[in-house]
Every structure is written in structure tokens, then in C-alpha cells.
Chain A
Amino acid sequence: MNTDCVLSRRKSEPALDQTTGLYGTIIRESKSIKANIQPAVSEDLQKLEEGLRTKNVKLIITSEPLQVLDRIVKDGKTFEIMHLDDFSLQGVQIFAHYQGIAVEVKE
């Protein structure tokens, strides 16, 4: 079932300060999308790097084009897409979708 959530995407890569060696603030842009958010099963976890597998991981399915490192905000929790499968060219257009495996990030 599709639910409302917020997609937050990096607008541009942060600028590097050559004096401090630090990157500037990441600027993001957000929009509301509909997505199907499910708990990830062990098969999905296999696609992540080992250190991420014990975190809170969700499978996110949406018709909205996603990118790796996009963030999905739902019920006050933020999930970052670490693995993305693109099914947008899959057969009939109504089945076109993106499937991301997202890990909860705490800020």
C-alpha cells in the first residue's frame, strides 16, 4: 500500500574548504511522494554492506525515480537509500518502479 512520505535529495555536492579540509553543508531539496515502505527481508540485507545489516532497514518501492543516497522521511524517521534497483524499463509502463533498500540514519 502506498503511503505519503517525503523524498529528500542532495541538490549539489557540498563545496570543499581547502583551508579546513572540510566540506560545507549539504543542501537538500524535498518533495512529497507516495511510496510503499516495507521491512527488509534477509534477501534484501544481502545487498547491503556488512556493517549496515544490523540497522533498521526498509524496502522502499515507488514509481518516483530514486537515486542512491536519496533520503525518505516517514513518521519522523529518516532512511537513506544504499542500494537501488531500477525497474523503470520493465515491461508495461504501469509496473515501472524503483526499488530501494534504505537504512535508517540518525542525525
Chain B
Amino acid sequence: MSKLSSTIDNAIVQYFNHATGITTIWDRQDAIRPALPYISLSIQEIEDESGHQPDVAFDGAIRTLTFRNVATLRVRVFCNTDAAMGYLRDAIKYRYKSAGKTFLKNAEIAIREIDNIIDFSEMIDTNFELRAQANFIIAYADTVTDSDTQIVAISGTFNGAPFLGGSIPT
């Protein structure tokens, strides 16, 4: 089961992988941690863009609904050098770079940081593990195709008098 959609999930992993060049995984998987340094991603929240109805494309009895969503993504970096916060800076800067912009355009997502980068390094056994965290907003669209029985398309010939003295445009 995908988190947002399998295409967008993969694009998010690729974005951080390209931006920082380090291993990127989804959080909370049943496996051992990869070797340091690595980035761990988790989706914190998904919401419909507030107040918006889905965009509807109506084709006979088939409707395509396009939902515009935003998701909050928590990004954590675990490493054993001072670069923890630097990796997140790289991830933020990548969206202004040409390569990053092209990537986001092709992946059809938008990304933006919403918080400061926080340090939460900790002592693990006898060594410090350098950690940093930042939250990002991901904007994306997903569509649903639906065969609608509530709205029925009609067809026929208009047989009334032309209104306002004009003729019905053809």
C-alpha cells in the first residue's frame, strides 16, 4: 500500500536521494537501520487543499475528479559527522536548482520547507549520533475516475422559440 501514491512516494524518495546523495528510506519499516548517513521520511498529515471542490472533467457518464492535496513530510537525517543539518540545507536548496526544478516538474509535485531545521543529536552508547529534522510540505494532485449514475447526460434537439429574438448559436 502506498502512502500518497506509488509514483509520488517514489518521487519523494528520489528527490531527497538526488538532493543529498545519501540513502533515503521510509520510516517504520521492519528492518535494521541502514549504515549512516541516511535520511528517514515519514508522512505526518495529508489534507485536501482547504475549501476546494475537486476539479471535475465530465465525459458522458464518466467523471474524472482531480483532488489537490498537501501532505506534511517529516525528514530526519541520521549521521556521524557534522553534516546532518547540511544535508537538509541541500534538500532545501535543491528545489531552486535547475536539476531540482526539472525533477519536480516531471514528477508533478511541489515541495517547500515549513519549519526550521532542528538539531536533535543524541549520545548513542559512547558516541554522538548527529541528527537533524525538518518538515516539508508536498503538494500533489490525484485523480479518481467515476461512472456517475446521479448525473445523466441528455441529448436531443432544442425545439423552442429563439430567445431574445436571436437565434440559437450552432
Contacts and interface: CB of A to CB of B under 8 A. Distances in A.
> At the interface, is chain B mostly helix, strand, loop or mixed?
mixed
Interface string B12-38: 011001000001111001111010000
B41 interface: yes
B81 interface: no
B25 A22 contact: yes
A21 B9 CA distance: 9
Contacts, number: 34
B13 A23 contact: no
A16 B23 contact: yes
B34 A21 contact: no
A26 B13 contact: no
A39 interface: no
A71 to B, nearest CB: 11
A14 B17 contact: no
28 contacts: A13-B31, A13-B32, A14-B31, A16-B25, A16-B31, A16-B34, A18-B23, A18-B24, A19-B10, A19-B14, A20-B6, A20-B9, A20-B10, A20-B13, A21-B9, A21-B10, A21-B17, A21-B24, A21-B41, A22-B25, A22-B26, A22-B29, A23-B25, A23-B29, A23-B30, A23-B31, A26-B30, A26-B31
Interface of B: 6, 9-10, 13-14, 17, 23-26, 29-32, 34, 41
